[in-house]
Chains A and B, each alone.
Chain A
Amino acid sequence: MSDVTITIDGKTMKVKQGTSILEAAKEAGITIPTLCYFNLENADIACKPASCRVCVVEVEGSRNLLPSCVTSVAEGMVVRTNSKRAINARKMNIELLLSDHPNDCLTCPKSGSCDLQRLTQIVEVRSIDVTGTRRSTVPVEVGKALKRDLSKCIMCRRCETMCSTVQSVYALSAIHRGFPAYVGTAFEEPLSDTVCVSCGQCSAVCPVGAITENDEVEKVIDALADKTKTVVFQTAPSVRVAIGEEFGLPAGTEVTGKMITALRRLGADYVFDTNFAADLTIMEESAEIIERIKAFLNDEKVSLPITTSCCPGWVNFFESQFSDMLDLPSTAKSPQGMFGAVAKNYFTQKLGIRREDMIVVSIMPCTAKKVEADREALKVNGNPDVDIVLTTRETARLFKLANIDFTKLEDSEFDDPLGESTGAASIFGVTGGVLEAALRTVYETLEEKPLKKVEFFDVRGFTGVKTTTLKIAGIPINVAVVHGLANARKVMDEVKAGNPRDLHVIEVMACPGGCIGGGGQPYHRGDGSVLSKRTSAIYEIDKDKKIRKSHENPFIKELYQNYYGEPLSHLAHEQLHTHYTATAKY
């Protein structure tokens, strides 16, 4: 596209046609404040309702101020982002938002990372002169995954965009009209009574404290203080490349060692790795894949394509939206679930303690994991395999609460035996990772020879739906990698309509980019590069690992030898697999 010449705050410059004033200003080193807008360009996710009117600027020749986030540049345009008129309007619109807001920053869970709070500072609102009634407040709702305080909703529509456009779950919609309007659920029911899959993407983008993760930090402190309990931590693959951001480290800094040290400082009895369980998941899941494909080749009636099942957001989604196809997903539990099962069954046995005396705490990128841990299939006699789930954000807060100066920590290693993992496990944290990990094992099992190149580059990257065909042992296997549930819906609708592309294996991750973009991760603030940097860091971890295939993990081998026998054994089925139940579609 051709360039146009524009002048912003006196600086004349050439920018590409079609650029927004906001983007053009950014190029010129001018940061126009925004509130409703966000744009994750690399993941093709954007929210541009132009509703907050905070980003307004003065454009010569225009009667009104214009929202810079959605106004494209035009040849000869003269823009003033900091005229008195623009500044006052911006101020007034923030002031109006505050006039209809609880303003309890001191105790708000979002305090410190709240966009509205930050903007209030930036535009220098020092008093709220326009006062009046507040939108009738909706009671605060505390669910297993999320907490909602909709009296704080500023109608930016970001959550709605995530829930509808990106996830196609449609649990949220703007409701009511005018002053009473806010974004909520049908009949204003709690989220947990709706089709919500608990992915937490709404909380990941909410600029204020209207939707946040359900904070369970206190439960962990209680557990650690209870001397009768053995407290075991597991940490998910994607947390280690993100949690550093909460302590000022650049996105994509890998801080596994520091994270382990921090957990030990809290007083953890064991710090293990969910990655270990990810290797276990691959063992079970690839065995299942091979079983189904072999049966298929023998013309037996079999459920294909097989889909992954390690993402609870996706599991919740297919249980409601594709409840007539519950035979398709792998029955393997997620790594979190498998870890809990191994810890509470095998490891307690090893330690010689009762399962009730062990507290398993998961450190997860994910709000859906909180709900997953509550599933009946993950409990024995009411005692859960995983007791408490903290998101990355909560974990960082826990560290701060425990006076831990994270960046200054020395590195340390996971405990044995549930701390050892392979490169295959580490890539679980990104879209395409689970499938790639499985393929490494499926390949070697079927071909019965070592894989020369372990990377499957075709399944990597941010494209919403990636498909490719692999020839393994002469068998062409069609695989698809999907992230974002709206993309999953598309693929599943296609499967439902007869599976024209003959897909055999489908990996689905609910969150954009996979778990590195999870609903419980540090806020990306609309900066897509954050997700890319976390992704690269994950692939670095894989590259640096000596062992990169799950079936080569020595402790996994030992576990099968000593306990489970072999993948899909009776005991494995009992402890490491689950079943699915149809839930309401609307």
Chain B
Amino acid sequence: MGMVADPKSQYEELDKFLLTIAGTEDELIKVLHRAQGIFGYLSDDVQYYVAEKMKIPVSKVYGVVTFYSYFTTKPKGKHRISVCMGTACYVRGAEPVLEEFKKELNISCDETTPDGKFSLDTLRCVGACGLAPVVMVGEKVYGHVTPDMVKDILAEYA
């Protein structure tokens, strides 16, 4: 992600993946996972493409994409910041941490900064509750986060 990828090779990669599976309707979610991995997000075009390739009504594809919070139809920022709002993190003060990120980045949840650098969202428990409150930036996990750590975390990606 982040890099500008060539759409043609992205579609080719998706085609290649489609060849490795049966392509039956029950594999839709699997394919969407893969497509999001390749394209970074599920644009209308990509959803339409998946529908056509799998011979599934596009309304159904859209119905599925909008049902699951893991799927996103908007491009995310280069660095995706996810604040865990699972119970363990919540009771240990995740909310002020989230507020601090909002304030520092000047965006709300599920938004991306205008420069495309950061996007902010919440997630429910990554299973690292021992480190609560937990924040993920990309793949990296930050544990025991307090509001005053927010500036420093962001600075790492400046």
Q: Decide whether A and B assemble into one complex.
A: yes
Residue ranges of A at the interface with B (Cβ–Cβ < 8 Å): 164, 170-177, 185-187, 194-195, 585-586
Q: Chain B residue with minimal CB distance to A183?
A: B63
Contacting pair A170 B60 (CB below 8 A): yes
Residues of A within 8 A of B68 (CB): 177
- Do B67 and A176 have beta carbons less than 8 Å apart? yes
A544 and B62 CA atoms in complex are apart in Å by 52
- In the complex, what distance in Å separates the CA atom of A585 from the CA atom of B56? 10
B154 at interface, CB cutoff 8 A: no
Q: Out of B48, B58, B63, which one reaches A174, CB within 8 Å?
A: B63
Which residues of chain A are within 8 angstroms of B28 by Cβ–Cβ distance? none
A172 close to B66 (CB less than 8 A): no
**Interface size bracket, B side:** 10 to 19
Q: A586-B48, A586-B51, A586-B52 are in contact. Are A186 and B67 (CB under 8 A)?
A: no
Residues of the A chain whose Cβ atoms lie less than 8 Å from the Cβ of B51: 186, 586
Complex: A187 Cα to B62 Cα, angstroms: 7
Q: Give A585 to B54 CA distance when docked, in angstroms.
A: 13
B34-76 with Cβ < 8 A to chain A:
44, 47-48, 51-52, 57-63, 66-69
- The docked-state distance in angstroms from the alpha carbon of A177 to that of B62 is 12
Chain B, range 72-129, C-beta contacts under 8 Å to A: none
Q: How far is the CB of B9 from chain A (nearest CB, A)?
A: 24
Across the interface, name the chain A residue whose C-beta is closest to B49: A586
Please indicate the chain B residues that have their CB under 8 angstroms from the CB of A172 in the complex: 59
Is the CB–CB distance between B57 and A586 below 8 Å? Answer: yes
Min CB gap B110→A, angstroms: 13
Enumerate chain B residues within 8 angstroms of A585, measured Cβ to Cβ: 52
- Contact indicator B63/A175 (Cβ below 8 Å): yes
Q: Number of contacts between A and B (CB, 8 Å)?
A: 46
- A173 touching B63, Cβ below 8 Å: yes
- Chain A residues with CB under 8 A of B52: 585-586
Bound CA span A309–B86, Å: 58
Expressed in whole angstroms, the minimum distance between the Cβ of B143 and any Cβ of chain A is: 30
Please name all residues of chain A whose beta carbon is closer than 8 Å to the beta carbon of B58 when the two chains form the complex: 186-187, 586
Q: Which residues of the partner chain A approach B57 to less than 8 Å between Cβ atoms?
A: 164, 170-171, 173, 186, 195, 586
Query: How far apart sit A186 and B63, CA to CA, in the bound complex (Å)?
Result: 7
Q: How far is the CA of A157 from the CA of B70 in the complex (A)?
A: 25
Sorted nearest first, the 3 A-B pairs with minimum C-beta distance are: A170-B57, A173-B63, A173-B59
9 chain-A/chain-B pairs, Cβ below 8 angstroms: A171-B57, A171-B59, A175-B59, A177-B69, A186-B59, A186-B61, A585-B52, A586-B51, A586-B52
Complex alpha-carbon distance, A175 and B62, angstroms: 7
CB pair A176 B66 closer than 8 Å: yes
Q: Bound state CA distance, A164 and B56, in angstroms?
A: 12
Residue from A164, A174, A176, A187 in contact with B44 in the complex, judged by beta carbons closer than 8 Å: A187
CB closest residue in chain B, given A194: B59
Instruction: Report the bound CA distance from A586 to B69 in whole Å.
Output: 24
Most chain B beta carbons < 10 A, residue from A170, A187, A194, A195: A187
Q: Which residues of B contact A164 (CB under 8 A)?
A: 57
Determine the distance from Cα of A170 to Cα of B56 in the docked complex, in whole angstroms: 9
Q: What residues on A are CB-neighbors of B67 within 8 Å?
A: 175-177
Cβ contacts under 8 Å, B44 to chain A: 187
Closest Cβ of chain A: how far from B89's Cβ, in Å?
22
Distance A172 CA – B59 CA, assembled complex (angstroms): 6
For A177, the chain B residues whose CB sits under 8 A away are 66-69
Sample of 19 more A-B contacts, CB < 8 Å, known A175-B59, A186-B48, A585-B52: A164-B57, A170-B59, A171-B57, A171-B59, A173-B57, A173-B60, A173-B62, A173-B63, A175-B66, A176-B66, A176-B67, A177-B68, A177-B69, A185-B62, A186-B47, A186-B61, A187-B62, A194-B59, A586-B57
Report the separation of the CA atoms of residues A164 and B69 in the bound assembly, to the nearest whole angstrom: 25
The residue of chain A having its C-beta at the shortest distance from the C-beta of B73 within the complex is: A187
Q: Which residues of A contact B60 (CB under 8 A)?
A: 170, 173
Closest residue of B by beta carbon distance from A174: B63
Q: How far is the CB of A178 from chain B (nearest CB, A)?
A: 9
The residues of A that contact B69 with a CB separation of less than 8 Å are 177
In the complex, A171 Cα to B51 Cα: how many Å?
13
| Distance (whole angstroms) from the CB of B130 to the closest CB of chain A | 30
Give the nearest-CB partner of B57 in chain A: A170
Report the minimal beta-carbon distance from A241 to chain B, rounded to whole angstroms. Answer: 34
Residues of B within 8 A of A195 (CB): 57
State how many angstroms separate the Cβ of B33 from the closest Cβ of chain A.
17
Complex CA–CA separation, A586 to B61 (angstroms):
11
**Shortest distance from the beta carbon of A175 to any chain B beta carbon, whole Å:** 5
A195 CA to B48 CA, complexed, in Å: 13
- A168 closest partner in B (C-beta): B57
- Complex-state Cα separation, A195 to B62, whole angstroms: 14
Alpha-carbon distance between A170 and B64 when the two chains are bound, in angstroms: 13
Q: Return B139 CB to nearest CB of chain A, in Å.
A: 26
A170 to B66: give the CA distance in the assembly, Å: 16
CA gap between A186 and B44 in the complex, in Å: 9
- Most chain B CB within 10 A, of A164, A170, A171, A195, is at A170
